[in-house]
């Protein structure tokens, strides 16, 4: 499958600080940076027409209808036959994206990299909060399995939610167990959701919620390499460009996107 890039500049439901709405342009620029390399390690030309098609950004004027607009835009990417590669926004984008993914690929499983479980029933009264997408996804049956990796900001409520939804949860120093769990998913559709704060702030400083003790870039690349089955979609969220240092976090996002584009190019079905 070809990767269909969709920019999702949406941070209306961030709890602490805004910023991720501006991320798509920064990740695109890093992806196309002529000082970088357009080939993935397996020598896939990730910028070639056969590997990547840019569907542009979702138009988001604000208000309640934005949720529907994001779902509709993701559905259009999937209907074109491309795998969905959504870039930008805060983690609230994953719920409207998964509505489209689950409709097209029933039985999809999610691998989720994050410092936070994002399973709040609601956060500060907002059920669409960027701290709540996986509660909405699991209670609506939009995924048949959720594997969370890099978790290090848990609470009693979040732990109870994880048990309620049967989440497989791995702290950031348990990457080997997480890789075994991913492999056990076997054939079928898989979606990868990457919150950049799952990485250590040393690798990805350009996020609004620093949680030291996180994953390395190479560990996240290992997760991508370990994904089984058909990778039907992915998102890379929570880049806050105003917090970045020399664009290094945007570059990390682009590097992860390149690996995903190459992985999607090898997915069929």
219 touching Mn ion, by CB under 5 A: no
By beta-carbon proximity to Mn ion, the closer residue of 93 and 115 is: 115
For Mn ion, the binding residues in 171-210 under the rule CB under 5 A are 195, 197
For Mn ion, the binding residues in 234-253 under the rule CB under 5 A are none
By beta-carbon proximity to Mn ion, the closer residue of 66 and 211 is: 211
Number of chain residues interacting with Mn ion (CB under 5 A) = 7
For Mn ion, the binding residues in 66-125 under the rule CB under 5 A are 91, 114-116, 118
Nearest to 150 by CA among 217, 215, 224, 212: 215
By beta-carbon proximity to Mn ion, the closer residue of 1 and 137 is: 137
By beta-carbon proximity to Mn ion, the closer residue of 82 and 195 is: 195
For Mn ion, the binding residues in 129-148 under the rule CB under 5 A are none
From its phi and psi, is residue 77 left (phi > 0), alpha (psi between -120 and 50) or beta? alpha
- What are the CA-CA distances from residue 106 to residues 99, 110, 112, 133 (Å)? 10, 12, 18, 18
By beta-carbon proximity to Mn ion, the closer residue of 16 and 164 is: 16
Least distance from Mn ion to the Cβ atom of residue 237, Å: 7
Least distance from Mn ion to the Cβ atom of residue 19, Å: 13
Least distance from Mn ion to the Cβ atom of residue 156, Å: 18
Burial zone of 17 (CB within 10 Å; 0-12 exposed, 13-18 middle, 19+ buried): middle
Least distance from Mn ion to the Cβ atom of residue 21, Å: 15
For Mn ion, the binding residues in 45-64 under the rule CB under 5 A are none
Least distance from Mn ion to the Cβ atom of residue 178, Å: 16
By beta-carbon proximity to Mn ion, the closer residue of 2 and 112 is: 112
Least distance from Mn ion to the Cβ atom of residue 145, Å: 18
Q: Which residues of this chain interact with Mn ion, rule CB under 5 A?
A: 91, 114-116, 118, 195, 197
């Amino acid at each position: 499958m070809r990767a269909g890039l969709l920019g999702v500049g949406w941070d209306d439901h961030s709890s602490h600080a805004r910023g991720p709405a501006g991320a798509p342009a920064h990740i695109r620029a890093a992806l196309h940076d002529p000082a970088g390399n357009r080939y993935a390690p397996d020598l896939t030309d990730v910028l070639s027409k056969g590997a990547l098609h840019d569907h542009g950004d979702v138009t988001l004027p604000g208000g309640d209808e934005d949720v529907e607009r994001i779902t509709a835009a993701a559905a259009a990417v999937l209907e074109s036959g491309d795998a969905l590669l959504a870039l930008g926004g805060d983690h609230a984008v994953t719920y409207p994206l998964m509505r489209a993914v689950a409709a097209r690929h029933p039985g999809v499983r999610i691998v989720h990299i994050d410092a936070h479980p994002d399973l709040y029933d609601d956060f500060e009264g907002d059920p669409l909060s960027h701290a709540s997408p996986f509660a909405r996804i699991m209670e609506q049956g939009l995924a048949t399995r959720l594997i969370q990796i890099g978790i290090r900001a848990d609470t009693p409520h979040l732990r109870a939610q994880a048990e309620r939804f049967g989440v497989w949860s791995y702290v950031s120093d348990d990457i080997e167990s997480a890789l075994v769990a991913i492999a056990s998913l076997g054939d079928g559709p898989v979606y990868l959701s990457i919150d950049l704060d799952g990485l250590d702030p040393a690798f990805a400083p350009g996020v609004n919620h620093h949680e030291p003790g996180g994953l390395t870039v190479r560990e996240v690349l290992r997760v991508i390499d370990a994904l089984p089955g058909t990778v039907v979609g992915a998102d890379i969220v929570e880049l806050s460009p105003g917090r970045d240092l020399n664009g290094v976090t945007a570059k990390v996002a682009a590097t992860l996107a390149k690996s995903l584009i190459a992985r999607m190019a090898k997915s069929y079905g």
